[in-house]
Amino acid sequence: MSLYVMKFGGSSVGDIERMQRVARRIVEKQDEGHQCVVVVSAMGDTTDDLIDQAMLLNPNPPAREMDMLMTTGEQISMSLLSMAIHQLGRNAVSLTGWQAGFRTEPVHGKARIMDIIPDRVIGALQEGNIVIVAGFQGMTEEGEITTLGRGGSDTTAVALAAAINADVCEIYTDVDGIYSTDPRIVKCARKLEEISYDEMLELANLGAAVLHPRAVEYAKHHQVKLVVRSSFNYNEGTVVKEETSMEQGVVVSGIAYDKNVARISILGVEDVPGVLATVFGALAGAGINVDIIVQSGVQDGKADFSFTTSLSESGQALQVIKDLRSTLPYREVTSEDNLVKVSIVGAGMISHPGVAAEMFDVISKQGVSIKMVSTSEIKTSCVIEGGNLEQVVRALHTAYNLDTDAQVFVGGPQDRR
C-alpha cells in the first residue's frame, strides 16, 4: 500500500460535475490499494469573486480580514468533495489547514509554513478515511488564520507529503504534464516525461505557471517525488525529481515567459562607491524584489543603470527612487512597462557552449531587439518588447528542436483549445 497526496486545482473542481469526476478519481486510487490524502483549491473563480466583493466594500481591506475571507473558498471545496466521496460509499473527512496541523509565521497574505503537526491527518488515515485538506491556509501559534499566498495550495500539498512521508505527491491540473512551453502559444509543444527539480524551479521562477516556485523548492529540499498530470484524462504525467536522464539531442528543456515585467533606469548617477548599495538597499527595505540589473559605461564621472521588477511593484519602486534624489542625485529616472522576459532553461546548457548565442541569433532574426540579458548555468533570459512575445517563443521552440507532432491536451473534452 502506497500513500498518495493528490492536489486538485480550481479548474479541476470548478463545478459540481468536475467535483464528482474528482471524487471518482480519488475512489479509483483507493480501489488500487492506496491511502489518499487530497489537497484542494477553491472552486473555479471563487477566490477572484471574493476579492471583488471585498473591494466593493473596502478598497483597502485589512489583511487579517482578507485572510479570514480567502480561506472560505478552500473550505467550500473540501466539504463538497468529502460529500461527493461519501455519496460513492466511501469514508472521507475534511480538514482545514490548521486542523491538518499547518503552523505558519504571523504574516497575512503570504505566510510561510513554520511547522506541520499532521497527527490528525495520520489518525484519520488509520481509521480508513480519505482525508481532504483545504490548501492555501494555516494558523499562527497565537491562533490567527493565515494564507500562504500565490500557489499556496501547491505548497500545502508538497509540504504535507513531506510531513507524512508520502510516496508520491500528484498535482492534478488542466494540462496532462509539464510542457516545453505554454501549449496555448505553441500547439506542438513537447510534453516532458521527467524534469529535474532545478530545471522546474527555474521554469517556475521565470513564469511557467504549472507549478509554484515555493512548492518546487519544498519538494527539492525534502526530496518529494512530484507528478504533474491532468484531472481530465489518465495520460501519464511528468515526473519532477532530483536527476533526470537527458534526452538525446535536447539541450533546452523548456521555454518560459513572464509578462509581469517593468524596467526602471536611473540615468546620470555619480560613479562613486556605495551607489548600488544605497539604491538596492532602499528597494529591499521596501520589500521590492529586483531581478535583472545592468550598469552601462561611465562617462564624465556619471553612470547609468537599469533593473527589472514586477509591474505590480514598479510604481512603488519609482517612488523609492524619487525619494532618494536628495541624498543620491541623478539626472532622471525612466520606466518601461510594455516588456516581457523570455527564458530558455535546460540542464544540458552547462556542457553545450553557444546555446545563449543561438538564442540571441534567433531573436535578432525575428527583427526584435534585446533590452536586457541575464544568465545562469541552466538558463538564459532576455527582456524584449511585449508585442513580440508569441513569435519569439515559437521561433525559439523550433530552433531548439522542441516541436513535436503530438496533439497538446488542455482541459476536459469540452475545454479543448
Binding residues: 7-10, 47, 74, 173-174, 179, 184
| Residue type present at position 16 | I
Binding residues for substrate: 47, 74
Q: Give the cell for residue 402.
A: 522542441
Spatial CA neighbour of 133 closest among 101, 165, 108? 101
CA 176/CA 191 separation, integer angstroms: 8
Q: Which residues are annotated as a binding site for ATP?
A: 7-10, 173-174, 179, 184
**Cell match 538564442: residue?**
359
CB 41, CB 74: distance < 8 Å: yes
Q: What are phi and psi of 148, to 5 degrees?
A: -95, 0
**Distances in whole angstroms, Cα of residue 102 to Cα of each of 86, 119, 137:** 25, 11, 8
Closest to 264 (Cα-Cα) out of 336, 190, 164, 196:
336
CA dihedral 120, 126, 128, 131 (to 10 degrees): 30
* Secondary structure of residue 57 in the 3-state scheme: helix
Q: How many Cα atoms occupy the beta-carbon half-sphere of 329 within 13 Å?
A: 3
What ranges in 88-229 are assigned the alpha helix state H? 119-126, 152-163, 197-205, 213-222
Instruction: Determine the Cα–Cα distance for residues 175 and 229; give it in Å rounded to an integer.
Output: 7
> How many CB atoms within 10 Å of residue 30?
18
Contact (CB, 8 A) for 93 and 124? yes
